[in-house]
Amino acid sequence: MFKLIRRLFRWALYLFLLLAALIVAAVLSLDTIVKQIVQSRLRAETGMDVKIGKMDIGLAAPTIAIEDFKMYNPPEFGGSLFLSMPEIFVDYDWNAIRAGKLHLNLLRINLAEIDIVQNKQGRLNIDSLEEKSKAASDAANKQSSAPAFAGLDTLNVTFQKLRLWNLDSPSRVTEERFGITNEVFTNLKTEEDLERMAVVLAARSTASAAPTTNAPIDMLKLLQQLLRAGKTK
């Protein structure tokens, strides 16, 4: 389970940084429909439907506040909820952005729920998502359009719930809750720092996990087998 949680956090960090970069790019373009642009770009990058309840772009200060951010699985994974974040708050370095770098003063994330789904072909939604994200990232790097990561001064993370289920048995769900509330990390200057932070956060999440339903043992065994087979990084 530790490796699975670590993998989720590694992907989630990529998503959050991508989201911040897309929003800042939209703001710089002076487009008045920032929310629609971000939703559209994220759909293209991930293959998932994206809904944003509210987005406030700071005019007097370089801040972005997002409420009720949700991503939904594609049809082959049931079209159900994949990720729910009640709050994302970004305070970014305007001067760094103008220089083509992504430096965040503060990133605050409230991650209410992540759902891992296995479809009837035995494929996990996060496998499909990672492939699409990697392809999009490679394309962006070739175009040299993505700002280079230049550090994250303060990261504040809340992680509430993980759900695991199989489309062959959609009524049988394993749900685990985590005691991660306002966990703070500072001075993340490189991508290697982000990786180390993900490892620490995954370890704390795994240690504090408490199952809240009768676990479908077959699903847990499946995940363990996938981990042993090296399907996670």
pLDDT, residue 211, reads: 54
pLDDT, residue 231, reads: 38
pLDDT, residue 69, reads: 93
Q: What's the one-letter identity of residue 83?
A: L
> Where does 119-208 show beta strands of DSSP type E?
148-166, 169-188
pLDDT, residue 137, reads: 59
Q: Is 30 helix (H, G, I), strand (E, B) or coil?
A: coil
Domain boundaries, the chain: 2-228
Low-confidence residues of the chain: pLDDT under 70: 1-6, 8-11, 13-14, 16, 21-33, 133-146, 205-233
Q: Please check whether residue 62 is in contact with residue 50, taking contact to mean a CB–CB distance below 8 angstroms.
A: no
Residue 7 DSSP one-character state? H
Give the pTM.
0.73
